[in-house]
Each structure stands twice: as structure tokens, then as C-alpha cells.
A and B are shown apart, each in its own frame.
Chain A
Amino acid sequence: MLGEAGAVHYAPTMSEPDYNEVEVEERRRLLRSFGYWDLVALGAVVGAGLGYLYGIAQEPRQRAWTVFGGMAVGAVCALVAGWARVQGRARERFFTRWAAERQWLYEARGEPFEDTLFLQSGDKRKASDFFSGFWPGSGAVLYQHKRIVGRGDDEQETDYVVLHFSLRRPLIDLLQISPCSHAAELGERLFGHSEIDERIELESTELDQHFRISGLRGREDEVRRLLTPSAIVKMLDFQRACSNGSARFEILGSNVAFLVKGTLSPKQPQLIEGLLELWRPIASWLMEEANEQARLPEAVREEGPS
């Protein structure tokens, strides 16, 4: 999906782009363009026309006011649309340059990943700001994932920053590590267990206090085998370093998704690097585990480590 047509390639220049500069440049470009002022004029004319139609049944004096009012509203709408366009273009240009400085690839739009259970959840999903690159041997993609639940007025949107990558071979059928929620626990106790997953309590009290770990029903051993003491310590280190308590991890076969609630902003691009740095030890460990599995002969793999 990424790295195909539509992606803009920039050569790294070793100079960090500044979002404010990019935004000012875009604004200047917009204000200088004839098309923009044409659009404002057109907005004013359309607004005036609509104002005239609205005031057609009224007194001539009132009609004049609706025409002027419509003209002003039309012009303001065109100005605002131009402003929004500036923001969008500045964001895209800044992120493209910023990513290129790090040898990454940026795409403003794309389809959301839906290959793990949480990424599939919600009534609708949208995605934007795809950054790809990061690890040699296994390409990863970091992007903005919007999960939409409900419809109409009841619609609720939650933004996540997702790091998605695929392992060389499937590591585990299902592993979900989500923030510990007393409400969810109570709901599970009251309304029964999920058909798919089962809560697994590992040996660390601290881990249980922060995360809910679940795997496929009856496949607890698989999770325990993967989450060795050193893996648990990595999770605890992550939890201490991450100020955002909404981090969740999901592995489904060879697909891995790390999620944290939040949005990507060109004003704070360091958030991306910060998150990658936080996720790196766990991601590296998963990749090593998968590579180790890939190196094992088939018979040993089926048997599983003793």
C-alpha cells in the first residue's frame, strides 16, 4: 500500500524543517495566487445570489441587507476554505520533508490496517498520516487511526497513533495487552466472558495492575511461553516510561499493532520519535523472537520450547 504511486519523495538535506516556516510559505503562496481571490470573489457572488433569493419575499431594504449578508458569508466561507487548505498542504509538505530527513516515507492518506482485532473494531475506521520505514529487516508503519463507534449524533471518535508491522513468521495466535480498566473487568464479570479471549494473569502483580493480558481461550500456555520474565520487565519499563496510560499491544499471528491514544501533530513531530523509542525494545524483542522461531527446524517449532 505504501511506497506506491502518490508518495512524494524528497531527498534528505540534513536540515530539520520548521512547521511554522512551511505554514507561512504556504499562506504566502495562497495569498499571491489569483485563483484564491477569484474563489473569494465567487464565494461573495454566490453568497449574494443566495441572499437575494432568501430575501426575495421581503421589503427592498431588507432584501439589500440579505444580499450584503450573503455576500459577506460567501466571502468568509471561501477565506476559511482557503485557510483550511493552507493548513492541510502545510501539514503534508512538512511531514513529507520531516520524514525524508529520517529516511522514512510519508503518505497523507491511505486505508487503515484492519488485520488485528482492535484495529477491526468500531463501526467505521479512518486513517491518515502514514509514516513507513524504521526497522531494517521488517518495515513498520506508524499512522493515525480513527475509530468511530455509533452513528449520527451518538457517534464517538477516538484517535490512536498506531505502529504496525509484520513479523517474519506467526508468533502467537492472539495476544492482547490493553490498559487495565475496572469498568471492563466489572462488565466481564457481570455479563459473562468473551468468546474469543480470556484474561491471563501472569506472575507480576505490577503488570496486572496496569495491563489486562488476554489470549485465545485454552491457549494460555502460548502466552506464558512468549511473555518470559525479561519480556514482562520490558513491558513494565515501557509502562513507567510512557506517561500516556492508554497504550495497548496486539499480536495476531504475524501482525503486530501498538496503539496509544493521541493525534499526530506537525507542531509536535518529536512525539513520533518518542513513541518509536518507547516501542523499540518491545518491537525488537518480538522481531528477534520471530526470527528465532524462523531459524528453528519445523519439528522443534511444532513441539514448542520445553
Chain B
Amino acid sequence: MTAFYIVLALFAFAGLLLAFSYNRLVRLRNKVAEAWRDVDVQLQRRHDLIPRLVELVKAYAAHESELFAKLARLRGEAEDASGPDTKSAPESELAAALGRTIVVAESYPSLRAAENFLALQREIAETENEVAAARIIYNGNVRIFNTRIQTLPVSFYADLLGFEPAAFFQVGAEGAV
């Protein structure tokens, strides 16, 4: 009888540990999702600035139509992509194209001195900073979550409970602006 109670207590203890562990994993996974939403918001801010920039630069450099078309295409591709793994490539290219557009704009002194361009340039720079910061936070959360589910003892049951490693968000050309 005593052995039965000991086994029961052990099972209860193991169940309790599992419940705590599960709750913690759910919390970490939600944090990853929350941080991703933040990245998404900042990326959307970046996308919203592109038409304004194109409109402004077009007035001075209409012949750069190829660059504007590329920007529009990349913006469409980036908006169509939904997760961190699929968004990485188009966002990298978009950031690089955005940087190139700014460089083109800066080669026109009258545009460079225009107040609305300066304001827009400041806004783009701020957005890029926020994108970079949101990405750091997201990747930090992913690192902690992935480490948790890939290390013992959680790695034994994380898969069974439906926890899979999250993808990092890597953007190579960020900070080009």
C-alpha cells in the first residue's frame, strides 16, 4: 500500500512539473508571437513610407523608373510573405532598394534640401531603427524559446506537446538607410 502511495506521489509530482513546464513554454511561445507582431508593425510602417518616398523622388528623377518599379515589386512581395522565414529575403532586398533610392535622392541637391524630404528621411531612419530593435527583441525571444525546447529535460516532451522551434528573422541589408 505504501509503495502505491509513493508511486502516486511521484506521478503527481511529475504531473505538476509537466504542467509548470507546459505553462512556461506557452508563455515563451506567446512572447515570440508578440515580438513578431511588433516586427510586423514596424515593417508595415516601412512599407507605408515607400509610396511617399517614390512620389517625392519621382518628381526629380523620373528616369529612375526601373528602381521605382523594383521597389513596388519588392514591397508587394514583402507584404505577401507572412512568416519570419518567408519574409527575410524580400525584406532584405526591400531594405537595400530603399537605401539605394535614398542615395539616388541625395544626388539631387534641391531634393536633398527640401524640407519634406528631410522629414521623410528622418522618419525612414527612425523606422529602420525600430525595425532593427524589434528584430533584436524577436530573435532574443526565439533564442530563449528554442534553447528551452531543445535542452533537457524539456526536449523529451516538447515535441509531444506540440512545441516546435521558431524561425529567426534575418535581414542582411538592414541599416543600409
Contact = CB atoms under 8 A, between A and B. Distances in A.
Nearest to B148: A205
Contact of A230 (B133, B144, B145): B133
A296 interface: no
Contacts of B133: 228-233
B130 A203 contact: no
Contact of A205 (B28, B38, B132): B28
Interface residues of B, number: 17
Interface stretch (B56-64, B76-84, B134-142): B134-142
A62 interface: no
A205 B130 contact: no
B101 interface: no
Nearest to B33: A203
B132 to A, nearest CB: 8
Most B-side CB within 10 Å, residue of A204, A205, A207, A231 = A205
Interface string B44-85: 000000000000000000000000000000000000000000
Interface string B137-169: 100110011000000000000000000000000
B140 A229 contact: no
A4 interface: no
Interface string A228-252: 1111110010000000000000000
A257 to B, nearest CB: 25
A231 B129 CA distance: 10
A230 B39 CA distance: 12
Contact of A229 (B28, B134, B144, B145): B134
Nearest to B131: A229
A236 B132 CA distance: 14
Nearest to B38: A203
A231 B130 CA distance: 9
Nearest to B41: A229
A229 B38 contact: yes
A228 B31 contact: no
Contact of A206 (B129, B132, B134, B140): B140
B42 A229 contact: yes
Contacts of A236: 136, 140
Interface of A: 203-208, 228-233, 236
Given A204-B31, A206-B141, 10 more contacts: A203-B34, A205-B140, A205-B145, A206-B140, A207-B137, A229-B42, A229-B133, A229-B136, A230-B130, A230-B132
Interface of B: 28, 31, 34-35, 38, 42, 129-130, 132-134, 136-137, 140-141, 144-145
